């Protein structure tokens, strides 16, 4: 079959029927398909191959009516990849094998068996096999993956029951199984799961998980510990609650709400409940527009509350505290302004790496004479300078001189020294005979043996003080003009 069209003059089909060889050959250019019939053997052999140079691969299909076998293969003169079908009419059964004649894979194969009488399907690769059994009358399907390898008796099982809507998955061995069971309730609709074991050590331990699609609920139970989740699409909101079915923990719970209120505002609420008391709540609001996080802690039993507000800004974030703030031996740090509205108590050490300013600075202790009933409060000494104060008493010698030794760091820490001298017990004159040099100074009196009370002050000039020097009088910023700290 060919054409005189110049475009297709070299294209043609050749078809040959050979009655003596009982063969039928169809060729298109160098690609050819040959079919050979053997009536005495009840076989038919198909081959698709090519005469193209350098291509010696082929497809073969072999049908044997006497044995009910079909063999399909793709290969070349060195090896073939074969798919063999064998039909057993009496059983009835279909056997398949996928294998190769390549010496590297001659021991590797897939065996697949379809058994219509047993309603089973079995696939095996070497000694690993997967069996599926169908039970139409029971509406069940049973899968098992196992091995014939010596010393390995574990298996995977999956069991489907259409009548009850149950799926049971398990991994185990002849002694025990770890099971995952699913039960579908179409009418609710609901999905129930259970993870449990047949091992005697864990027979009382289990996980139960329930998904309720109509209510948007999920419930997870481990023995008597319960986690409930509720998804509210209209809000939209997710509520999670942890509690126990154990009577010993009745009334105790932790509940968490995640609430998307608007496009730019989200809310979290965490509550903890205790028997006989109102819950303690922490309500956190995220304001995406103003970049503020507001957190309110509330004792619903007595109404006590604490408000924290965090204003986030690249130019300086701030923390605002409404209520009492106590640091019990912990730490509080801020790289920007820290505003606390209300009393703040620090139980432990407080370190400020920078400037500490306050309107009034006090110390407050238990009153030494009545510590159970009173406090004693003193104010700090104020100065426009970063001043250190040193004092003591000294008695002059028989010549009326006394040398006062200061700490070895004195001159490294201080400058601009000032002196105060007061004679004790008698009228006398006292002067500073020698100013401070090499961390000491000399006092002289006009009489010998005079006790002198002395005081020396100095102004700090260490690196920290020099870096944090402050102006005594400062103009208010434009936004603060017209406002006062106190009225």
State how far the alpha carbon of 255 is from the alpha carbons of 211, 259, 272, 294, 419, in Å. 19, 13, 6, 19, 67
Name the residue among 247, 307, 318, 248 with its Cα closest to residue 281: 307
Name the residue among 143, 141, 149 with its Cα closest to residue 131: 143
* Structural domain boundaries enclosing 410: 387-467
What is the pLDDT, as a whole number, of residue 263?
Answer: 87
Q: How far apart are CA 471 and CA 295, in angstroms?
A: 37
E-strand stretches of 126-176:
128-135, 140-147, 155-161, 166-172
Tokens 């070299």, located at residue: 10
Q: Is 450 part of any domain? A: yes
Q: Is 243 part of any domain? A: yes
Tokens standing for 128? 């690993």
pLDDT tens, 60-97? 999 999 889 999 999 988 889 999 999 988 889 999 99
Q: Is 144 part of any domain? A: no
Q: What are the backbone angles phi and psi of residue 104, rounded to the nearest 5°?
A: -70, -25
Among 250, 278, 312, the domain boundary falls at 312
What is the pLDDT, as a whole number, of residue 231?
Answer: 95
Q: Which residues of the chain have pLDDT under 50?
A: none
Q: Is 16 part of any domain? A: no
Q: Is the peptide bond before 236 cis (omega within 30 degrees of 0)?
A: yes
Listed as own residue / partner, the contacts of 183-187 with beta carbons closer than 8 Å and 24 or more positions apart are: none
Tokens standing for 121? 């399907």
Tokens standing for 12? 């043609």
| 401-405, strands of its sheet edge to edge | 401-405, 440-445, 430-437
Looking from the CA of 460 toward its CB, the CA atoms found within 13 Å total 16
- We report the CATH number of the domain holding residue 395 as 2.60.40
What is the pLDDT, as a whole number, of residue 312?
Answer: 85
pLDDT tens, 214-267? 999 999 999 899 999 999 998 899 999 999 999 999 999 999 999 998 888 999
What is the pLDDT, as a whole number, of residue 297?
Answer: 92
Looking from the CA of 58 toward its CB, the CA atoms found within 13 Å total 19
Q: Is 391 part of any domain? A: yes
Identify the helix (H) or strand (E) that includes residue 413. helix 410-413
Q: Is 156 part of any domain? A: no
Q: Is the dihedral of CA 468, 473, 477, 479 positive or negative?
A: positive
What is the pLDDT, as a whole number, of residue 453?
Answer: 98
Q: Looking at the 3D structure of the chain, how many domains does it have? A: 2
Q: Is 281 part of any domain? A: yes
Contacts of 284 (CB under 8 A, 6+ apart): 267, 268, 269, 270, 293, 294, 295, 296
Q: Is 393 part of any domain? A: yes
């Amino acid at each position: 079959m060919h054409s005189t069209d110049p475009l297709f003059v070299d294209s043609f089909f050749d078809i040959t029927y050979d009655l003596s060889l009982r063969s039928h050959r169809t060729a298109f250019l160098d690609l050819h398909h040959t079919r050979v019939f053997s009536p005495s053997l009840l076989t038919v052999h198909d081959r698709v191959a090519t005469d193209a140079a350098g291509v010696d691969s082929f497809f073969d299909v072999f049908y044997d009516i006497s044995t009910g076998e079909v063999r399909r293969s793709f290969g070349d003169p060195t090896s073939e990849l074969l798919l063999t079908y064998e039909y057993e009419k009496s059983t009835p059964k279909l056997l398949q094998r996928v294998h190769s004649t390549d010496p590297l894979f001659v021991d590797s194969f897939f065996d697949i068996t379809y058994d219509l009488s047993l309603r089973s399907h079995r696939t095996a690769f070497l000694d690993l096999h997967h069996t599926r059994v169908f039970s139409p009358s029971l509406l069940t399907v049973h899968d098992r993956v196992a091995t014939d390898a010596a010393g390995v008796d574990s298996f995977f099982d999956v069991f489907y029951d259409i009548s009850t809507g149950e799926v049971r998955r398990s991994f185990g061995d002849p002694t025990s199984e770890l099971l995952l069971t699913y039960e579908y309730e179409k009418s609710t609709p609901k999905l129930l799961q259970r993870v449990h074991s047949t091992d005697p050590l864990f027979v009382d331990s289990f996980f139960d998980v329930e998904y309720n699609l109509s209510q948007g609920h999920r419930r997870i139970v481990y023995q008597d510990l319960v986690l409930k989740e509720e998804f509210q699409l209209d809000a939209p909101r997710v509520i999670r609650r942890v509690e126990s079915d154990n009577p010993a923990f009745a009334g105790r719970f932790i509940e968490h709400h995640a609430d998307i209120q608007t496009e730019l505002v989200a809310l979290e609420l965490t509550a903890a409940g205790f028997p006989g008391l109102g819950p303690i709540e922490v309500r956190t609001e995220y304001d995406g527009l103003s970049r503020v996080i507001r957190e309110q802690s509330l004792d619903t039993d007595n109404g006590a509350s604490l408000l924290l507000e965090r204003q986030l800004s690249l130019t300086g974030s701030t923390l605002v505290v409404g209520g009492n703030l106590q640091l019990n031996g912990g730490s509080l740090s801020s790289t920007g302004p820290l505003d606390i509205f209300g009393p703040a108590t620090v139980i432990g050490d407080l370190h400020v790496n920078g400037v500490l300013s306050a309107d009034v600075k006090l110390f407050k202790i238990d009153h030494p004479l009545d510590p159970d009933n009173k406090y004693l409060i003193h104010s700090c000494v104020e100065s426009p300078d970063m001043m250190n104060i040193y004092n003591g008493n000294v008695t002059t010698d028989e010549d009326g001189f006394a040398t006062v030794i200061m700490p070895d760091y004195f001159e490294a820490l201080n400058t601009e020294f000032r002196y105060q001298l007061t004679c004790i017990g008698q009228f006398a004159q006292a002067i500073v005979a020698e100013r401070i040099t090499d961390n000491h100074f000399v006092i002289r009196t006009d009489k010998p043996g005079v006790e002198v009370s002395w005081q020396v002050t100095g102004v700090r000039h260490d690196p920290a003080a020099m870096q944090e020097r402050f102006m005594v009088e400062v103009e208010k910023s434009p936004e603060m003009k017209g406002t006062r700290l106190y009225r």
